[in-house]
Chain A
Amino acid sequence: MVASGAMAAVGAIATAWPFINNLNPAADTLALSTVEVNVKAIAVGQAITVKWRGKPVFIRHRTPEEIKEAEQVKLADLPDPETDNARVVDTAKKVRPEWLIVIGVCTHLGCVPLGTKQGDPRGDYNGWFCPCHGSQYDTSGRIRKGPAPKNLAVPEYLFTSDTLVKIG
């Protein structure tokens, strides 16, 4: 009795799995996973948005002041402590402080923060400001204030030359 009941339960779970798994991303969705960007035209102090996996990615050419500001923050002041250096390194382990590349999706509920376009509000920490519920990010894309719990995510990327970056 118990054995056949257990078998039935195992069978039910095994049958349910394909139905649940069916809703996961399909192979072609997973395949859309890299974009290559030429960053030559981005002047110091400017930023652009590119689309990757259906999401915006911000590429910012940081000014020396922005880099300094990001490096001087005490880790204890950060809700999600991370050094600036750890956020500007590519998959070949090369640190390029002038290039900040982050996924432009607020870690609160997924809006696109403002601050990439010229003239956008950039919040109290000079990075990005999310209009949805007021999260504020610094010049390293780290969360400083508001309901978002985490820093803007850094995607995997690789500089294949000084001006070409492959994201994903």
Chain B
Amino acid sequence: MASSHGAPPVFNNKVIAWIDHRLPIFSYIEKEYHTFPTPRNFNYFWNFGAIATVMLLLMIVTGIVLATNYTPHATMAFDSVERIMRDVPSGWLIRYMHMTGASFFFIGVYIHIFRGLYYGSYKAPRELLWILGVLILLLMMATAFMGYVLPWGQMSFWGATVITNLFSAIPVVGDSIVTWLWGGFSVDNPTLNRFFALHYLLPFIIVAVVALHVVALHVHGSNNPLGIDPKGPQDTVPFHPYYTMKDGFGVICFMIVYAAFVFFAPNFLGDVANYVPADPLVTPTHIVPEWYFLPFYAILRAIPDKLGGVIAMFGAIAVLFVLPWLDTSRVRSCTFRPIYKWFVLVLVVVLFLLGWCGANPPEGFFVPLSRICTAYYFFHFLILLPVLGKIERPLPLPPSIADAVLKKKAG
């Protein structure tokens, strides 16, 4: 087997050549994952796409194994999860992998999104690639929300109640929509059944959208820390072995941290109230969603009006869809945007503050803090980005990736 840039591969193995002539999967793999020209200057932020893919597959495998012992019924779900934890061989491990895996999937994806924000990966010609990414985030959120309902603990039940009730804010038809979502007059067995069916389905839809995401990626190739396009072979390296090895290394490092949590602190990121069986007559004193939803939950509560809060919460994700058109700067990477660079970091701080507000009861100083941060979040996307792109003076861009990399090497 041999190939060089552009030329179709030649397979020496007869069987592979026979198959490839009829169904060119080997040519595809060769082109997209071996010779694929990839910018030579990736930093470790570029590992998180591969990490997210591995986590998605891990969630599907552990999930299917859990489903073989799980019972989706309001009177049996909680006990079936406890049985998985105590009686089913290795059940505790599979469940902790799935539970902690959801958190680490979000950690990976949030870092992946930050990478896109900082290095301007959402800009032309990668707008659709970015939009597909936001869609994946939404699907992940729906999947994780429904998965969290399955163990039927107190947080499962009340989280489901609060979130499905968001739809009752819709004028006129809101209440009918909520009844329809529940399949009854409250969150109950029909709700649990349908959430299980959808929780099983959505991850496979995510796989399909990830496939489109990767197809879109491979049309124009990856962005890179400098945000400038590769101008020729001197700016790129073949994907394999350079980035297969680097991605493998990144995945292993990530997995070490993940495994440490699975084995030593599996409940650190969760809420103890979910080890109490669901009780429709008693709301826990303090309802909090899983950590990955906290900033959005804080935005929901920051607005003192029901419909307004719901609009703000969904709006916080919706602005991400139009981000490519809100940013008016022609320079992609923050490396060359001396002002915006700091504002991206401020946004990250604001998101952490919002998460902190979301984790605490809406009282005292958390009320004004969550309002200020919510206002800042929207200010960032709707005002700062369009205006700054026009007035900021970017630093001079290097002539090429190779040029910048070699100059840095030389000191």
Contact = CB atoms under 8 A, between A and B. Distances in A.
A69 to B, nearest CB: 25
Contacts of A147: 301, 304-306, 309
Nearest to B163: A109
Interface stretch (A11-19, A131-139, A157-165): A131-139
Contact of A132 (B282, B287, B305): B287
Nearest to A132: B287
Contact of A109 (B166, B182, B190, B285): B166
A133 B362 contact: yes
Contacts of A104: 281
A25 B183 contact: yes
Contact of A54 (B164, B280, B309): B280
B306 A25 contact: no
State which size class the interface on B falls in: 20 to 34
B83 interface: no
B185 A55 contact: yes
B280 A51 contact: yes
Contacts of B188: 29, 54
B158 to A, nearest CB: 7
A111 B179 contact: no
Contact of A133 (B168, B182, B301): B301
What secondary structure prevails in chain A residues at the interface with B? loop
A49 B281 CA distance: 8
Interface in B109-164: 158, 161-164
Contacts of A133: 301, 362
Given A108-B306, A133-B362, A134-B362, A23 B185 contact: no
A55 B187 CA distance: 9
A167 to B, nearest CB: 13
Interface of B: 158, 161-166, 168, 179-188, 190, 194, 280-283, 285-287, 301, 304-306, 309, 362-363
Nearest 6 A-B pairs (CB), nearest first? Answer: A54-B186, A110-B165, A53-B185, A109-B165, A111-B283, A109-B162
